[in-house]
Structure 1
Amino acid sequence: MASAAVDHVIGLIVSTVQNEATLSVGINDELDEIRRELVSMKSFLHDAERKQVMSEVMKTWVADVRGIADQIEDLIDEYMYYVYRQQHFTKLHRIFRTPKTLLETRQIASKLQQINKTIKGMDERRQRYGIDRIEGSNDHYNFPLYQRDLALFMKEDDVVGFVDESRLLKTWLMDKEEHRTLISTVGMGGSGKTTLVAKTYNDETVKSYFECCAWITVSQTYTRDDLLRSLIKEFHQSRKEEVPNDLGTKDFKDLVGILIGHLEQKKYLVVLDDVWDTNLWEAIKVSLPNNQFGSRIMLTTRKQDVGSYSSDVRSHILTIKPLKEEEAWDLFCMKAFSSCRGNSCPKELEPWALELVRKCKGLPLAVVALGGLLSSKKSITEWSSVCDNLNWQLNNNQMLEVVKSILLLSFSDLPSPLKHCFLYCCLFPEDYEIRRKRLIKLWIAEGFVQQVDRTAPKEVAESYLMELILRSMLQVVRRNEFGRPKRCKMHDLLREIGLSISEKEKFGVVYDGKVEIGECESHQARRLSIQTTKWDLQSYSSITRLRSLFVFVNGSVSFSNTLMSKFKLLRTLDLENAAIDVLPEELGTLFNLRYLNLRGTPMAELPKSIGELRNLELLDISETNIKELPSEVAKLQNLRHLNMWSKFIADIHNFELVRGMQVPFEISKLKKLQVMANIEAEGNIIKQLRSMTQVSRMGISNLKEADEQNMCSSIQNLKLLHHLCLMVNNETEFLRVDALRTPHPNFRSFFCLGN
């Protein structure tokens, strides 16, 4: 995570230096020097974090780097706050900096200079004590490999479920197709991929169908030549043949020759278990001949793109689904109550047993591990303790170490930006269905999305989301009509482990009422998610470094003016569906705010100080009681998304209920606005829309036949528009679009409600 934090800060420095002409020379120089130092440390950090068991010296060093990265981010934001405040003085003060601002600038420069010295000192300490030469261990990687080997020796009676899946795999293995065929089994860590494939591999009818077989556990750290050596050994040993001598001295060409010579006249079966590398097949396919004897290659993977191949090979993909409720229950009882007649659960323990099985969400690894843990616990007190403290158990109980280790592998393999994005998802409540659009806009507002040449941040964020889905770290629960993910959620246990990392790394914390508020404060968390009605926002006033605040509660919510001033570095404020009636005027002091989500709140008006949020990029007031935007909104020059859908939009055929927002005439001055829906067609607003050339999504309601000419003229001028929704105010109103000369080439959807 330290490497992810450093990557994030390097991007922040580059962005700040490039985009802010207001930087003083001293601060610019210090930031550039810090950037160079951090870049030089990155490669070591990546290597260090791959060692899942680090020395204490290395742990301390890595934690120090993470802390320094957080300090740099804070100082950059503080400096931009002083710049923001300076810009709100008189015209004279904009030309001549006030003494106070000069002093603050010097203080920031001095702090950055001290950080620079600290970073150089850390690098010297690393070299002096040979931290980069201290070997950590990869025990977390080796432990699951031992468990994988056990899967090969499981009895048929120990496997619950997978009946249909096993039958399908056997069909693919033994069909009449003579071409070499790849069969991929895909699923999240612990989903039973290895167990299923081992069950099929060990089936006597399968073993007798092939002339020689090999099972290889690949994992993340394989080398191509060692993989080929393992294949040669396995194939020879499966037929009780002598293994060729001096394999260790053979190069790639020789190893390929040995394999081809051994396999070209045989029907063979290869299992490649736990594949992470998308290029593995390309690397080894030349050594596995397509000999037209019906040979098969099976692999298991957590990543869907590993299981997708080019057209040069015949392939099948089986995606593992969670165990059904009754299957998960049977498996749990088999492990937890093996000493009871018929593996039956005692009635007094049933409520806790059912709750624990529910938390496993059909993940066989978790079901087996929890069942084994509880097999020695007989009292209700012991069971309720495990159920109520599952997060602690995952992190401290050796019997659940395998669950944590296997799920941590998926996190460790993520690229740096995706680690932040994944941990961000953990801040949503358990079983919460997260809207795709909401999530990617939050990532962008937080600065997690890296800049890619000629690619919009939204597209980069979409690719991050798809990567997490392909890696089985997010589950799609709903798709739109085009097949794109619409809502996602996390597996409970994956979320618990993510929260543990998040708290340890001071990334973020969830307050759900199970711990004292003081414990949350001690984390000095940079993100806070409140998920209990037993809370008082004033209690969080000491957490002054917050970047994100979520409120997921049904009870009444209120913000005081003094509280807002405590959160001056806040980037995102998400109050969706919270029972908040009003925001204080001090909202305008949140100069750093990029994202303000008020969707579904009972709020009836916005404070006029909203115009002071010069960095605001998204404002969502959909499904609120707000009917009119204050004129101050026109000052939000960085605003890109303005979502204002009516809370009655679901009743689309009731013309009286489908209404838009009344917007100020000056809204046409917002030249960066890309999404604006849904607005009322009043006054000259339709004519003014033609100047908003960056708009790509737009909704207009209360249109009349008289608006046709101006509306079509404006739409014709919006070359980037690809989603358009037009609505009239009653069922007798006619709406013509004949004046649209040619359809926009970028148009993807056009919705029209009216005659």
Structure 2
Amino acid sequence: MKDLKVFFAVPKPQLSENTLSLKTNELVAVFIDFLMGILEMILRRRIPYFTHCVKDPIEDLQTQLKFLITFLGDTPSQPTEETKSLLTDIEALANEVASFLYSFILKPRTMGTGMDVAISDFLQKIEILKMKIKDHCIMVSMMQSGLPTKTSVISVFVVDSLLNDLKDLMDQKAHKIGGVKDQIRTIHDEILYFRSFLRDIEMQQHPKLGQVIMRITDTVHEIEYIINSFAPIWYLEIRLPHVMEKIKLIRMAFEEMKKNHETGILQVANYPSQQVSLQAEKPLISEEIMVGFVDEAMKIAEQLIGGTEQRQIISIFGMSGLGKTTLAKRLYSDPSIVYHFDKRAWCVVSQTYQKRNLMIDILRTLSDLNIDVIINMEDERLAEEIHKSLKGRRYLIVFDNIWNIESWYDLERYFPDDRSRSRILFTTQLKDLGRQASCHSVINALPFLSEAECWDLLRQKVFLKGHCPPELQKIGKQIATNCHGLPIAVVVIAAVLANMEKKEIKWQQIARSLSSHINEDPSKCMNILELSYKHLPMHLKPCFLYLGVFQEDKEIPARKLMSLWISEGFIEKNKHKSVEIVAEEYLTDLIDRSLLIVAKKRSDGGIKACRIHDLMRDMCLRIVEEENFLKVIKE
């Protein structure tokens, strides 16, 4: 037994090439667990010399040691000197307990009568440690609040999860929380208040809300950690008061925001009931409205149908958000174009294009072959099938959003030139790309919308077939003018206006926001688009930001997107609707707000696939990074 003495002391940290070294607090925790095993062995064997008089003290010591194990995992990754001192004291206590147990194992008969005294001494020392632990708890809380804030985007699911845990504590485990039950109930009620406050549409536009949400997020995670990690009630008694101080400060911030709100009246949004009333005035998914480009559309249509007999490249170029794709789609689907060409195909190229995917997209449109057969074809066979489908036919192939000439060079030889008036249509942001593809190409520059066209588009998007009230026309035209002729900016701002009250004071707020962010260079419209995000209801913000994980210019399957939202906990629970139905309402709402575009529809008119505009995705990625919401790994 004397040879075992080396095992009855906290081991020292050791570095090894083959094993990861444990930190001091982890080593102490493992050692205390070893001591608890010895105490459990003593209780199980029920040694008659002392067990009958010290059973309860041994169990008390086990409880306190068990807590110390859990507490050692609560130490910050970069402890202060005070925390290091506390860890030293815990280690010293562990060594004292170990020394006593070692002596007892050597001479159990002689130690039996003094065991209750020894354990009592250990328990008193632990009581002294509690005072230091209390200071540690306050220090940890202050460190957490001083850390860089995580994000101002909060998921309702996170708050609901905490509310459920708190309610479970009060209802199912009331006997375990004793003297802190009132504190738990107060915290539950305050979190419930925060939740209702966060749903307030009016207050969601408050400039200081983001800072408050960051504090709520940190506090919610801290409470979740405390109540789910520590069993001893006295630990809750130490930590909860400090948490309640944080909640009190957040409550004061809320009340100050409420007091300073210009209307002085809070209108709590009851989503989705409020949203349903808005959607009742418009179709479930509004059709695209195109304003302007009448002359350009006629000119490009003539280029597609008339002109040379040789295969010709026609290019539509302009900045992102100008409407190139929308115009190309109108031309592609125009009855005269459909009638003129024997074969038509549409493919989206994007900046990170893949040749094989483009070939599959083109052949899917041109051929009647089963999609599974096409996907399993080798690249050479794909090329042969494309060429065979087009040989001797008059065809139109659209390369949407083409960024580099190499993507055309890779596929050019698969498109035969039979002097049948076939056409290749590019949409691009690069003026010279069409000319690089062919010296005989036709280049079409898409202009910005006029002020009148911007107002016409805004009015149609906001009121559909209805009329704009006279009191909103002046401020509406001002908003349209501030979009600097960029259709995507008009569409996005129109979606914001369509989803808010049709009151002059509300529109003036939007106009002021635009004026404070607008740059005279219309290519810098990101701040305009960002207003659409700022005016999103709280529950839709994480759903929108999650779109950043999808690749550029790729269709997003609706069911996959909604399933991911559900699994991430972004979809709010509703007693009267399934989570799938609520997720579909969220998706429809984002589409109605022009943050998503319908790419495909199901046979019943529902959404099969959607996509996000390049500018919207850029904005999404920028906000994701700023808010530290998620990490998007770029290829």
Higher relative contact order (CA 8 A, sep 6+): 2
Give the structure with the larger helix fraction.
Answer: 2
Normalised TM-score (structure 1): 0.32
Higher Rg of the two aligned structures? 2
Give the structure with the larger strand fraction.
Answer: 1
